[in-house]
Amino acid sequence: MLLEIEKKIASFIEQVDSSFVQELFAKIQHGKMLRSKLMLAICPKHPDIITLCAIIEMIQIASLLHDDVIDEAHIRRGSPSINAVFGNKNAIMLGDIFYAQAFLKLTSFDRNIAQNVAECVVRLSRGEIHDVVMGNSFQESKERYFSMIEDKTASLIASSAKSAAILANLDSEKYYTYGLNLGIAFQIIDDLLDVFGDEKKLGKPAMSDYAEGKTTLPYLLLYQSLSQADKQKLKSYFRISSMEAKEWISEKMQEKEIFEKTQDMARFFANKALESIEGENNLKLEEIIKNMIYREF
């Protein structure tokens, strides 16, 4: 099924009718297709599900193409990013093509699905803009962090689950809530991996979030457990990429058991996701949660 989705994306990009676009497209590494797996688990049979999955994956690809330009990231999924190889202008325009072509295909879907996906892209963009603004200074508010990751990451996962549920004639709100909480847990684990993960498995340098200006949950939890003097020290390392900063932060993260505390938060949201689909009898959705929470570190 995932292969069929990849083929559908390729055919949608072929329809753009540009050999240069094809050349750029060939350099994009396929991801884990979490959103498609989720949608197929909710709606495995509908004849339009492959197209809907392709649309969602294309929006996801578009957002990452733009995000790598914004973050000035040169590595994506262990390979050079499109902006690194072809420059920012091409990466942005390729993102626009993915985004616009996805929306063109979305117009043939039920109005509820189209509206829900379109609203989600607004949220996605709002999340990204808040992420950038928040990166200008050290952040102390967990509320702002949660609201930003809900927009930036969880909204597309929630919207994917809801769209698939609409297509399958299920109670779409339950699946939306499932997706939203899964998305929050997913981002928390991602933020945790940045601090504690292995560079090879991450496909990017470890501990890069804080050096890039992202005060993620592990840092928020660390900050609130530090003495006044250490709080200032942590703040002084904001946006600094040095061995000294990394070593000090790692040590404090260990000492204050931030790994466990952050993981507990991810589990809290994962359980909320499970609660929302109680009685729906969908073992695959339960498995998706378990696999995500126990991702390798």
The answer to whether the CB of 103 falls within 8 A of the CB of 119 is: no
Q: Which is nearer to ligand FPP, 57 or 71 (CB)?
A: 71
Q: Does 128 bind Mg ion (CB under 5 A)?
A: no
Considering only residues 264 to 283 of the shown chain, the ones binding Mg ion according to CB under 5 A are: none
Q: If contact means CB under 5 to 8 A according to the sort of partner, which of ligand FPP, Mg ion, none does residue 153 touch?
A: ligand FPP
Which residue, judged by CB position, is nearest to Mg ion in the bound state?
Answer: 71
The answer to whether the CB of 171 falls within 8 A of the CB of 178 is: no
Closest distance to ligand FPP from the beta carbon of 228 (Å)? 30
Structure tokens, 200: 């090879």
Max alpha carbon distance in the chain (Å)? 60
Which one of 9, 25, 39, 99 is in contact with ligand FPP (CB under 6 A)?
99
The residue assigned the tokens 């990204």 is 128
Q: Say how many C-beta atoms besides its own lie within 10 A of residue 68's C-beta.
A: 21
Q: Does 57 bind ligand FPP (CB under 6 A)?
A: no
The answer to whether the CB of 290 falls within 8 A of the CB of 267 is: no
Closest distance to ligand FPP from the beta carbon of 19 (Å)? 24
Residue 106 three-state SS: helix
Distance between CA atoms of residues 49 and 4, nearest Å: 11
The strand ranges marked E within 72-223 are: 75-76, 79-80
Q: Say how many C-beta atoms besides its own lie within 10 A of residue 128's C-beta.
A: 18
Closest residue by Cα to residue 223 from 210, 212, 234: 234
Closest distance to ligand FPP from the beta carbon of 153 (Å)? 5
Closest distance to ligand FPP from the beta carbon of 275 (Å)? 25
The answer to whether the CB of 261 falls within 8 A of the CB of 221 is: yes
Q: Which residues contact 20 (CB under 8 A, 6 or more apart)?
A: none
Which one of 36, 53, 67, 210 is in contact with ligand FPP (CB under 6 A)?
67
* Residues that contact Mg ion, how many (by CB under 5 A): 2
Considering only residues 67 to 96 of the shown chain, the ones binding Mg ion according to CB under 5 A are: 67, 71
Structure tokens, 175: 């699946």
* Residues that contact ligand FPP, how many (by CB under 6 A): 14
Q: Say how many C-beta atoms besides its own lie within 10 A of residue 137's C-beta.
A: 12
Closest distance to ligand FPP from the beta carbon of 208 (Å)? 8
Considering only residues 273 to 292 of the shown chain, the ones binding ligand FPP according to CB under 6 A are: none
Considering only residues 101 to 130 of the shown chain, the ones binding ligand FPP according to CB under 6 A are: 121, 124-125, 128
Q: Return the range that interacts with Mg ion (CB under 5 A); candidates 22-30, 64-72, 119-127, 274-282.
A: 64-72
Q: Does 153 bind ligand FPP (CB under 6 A)?
A: yes
Q: If contact means CB under 5 to 8 A according to the sort of partner, which of ligand FPP, Mg ion, none does residue 128 touch?
A: ligand FPP
Contact residues for ligand FPP, defined by CB under 6 A: 59, 62-63, 66-67, 71, 73, 99, 121, 124-125, 128, 152-153
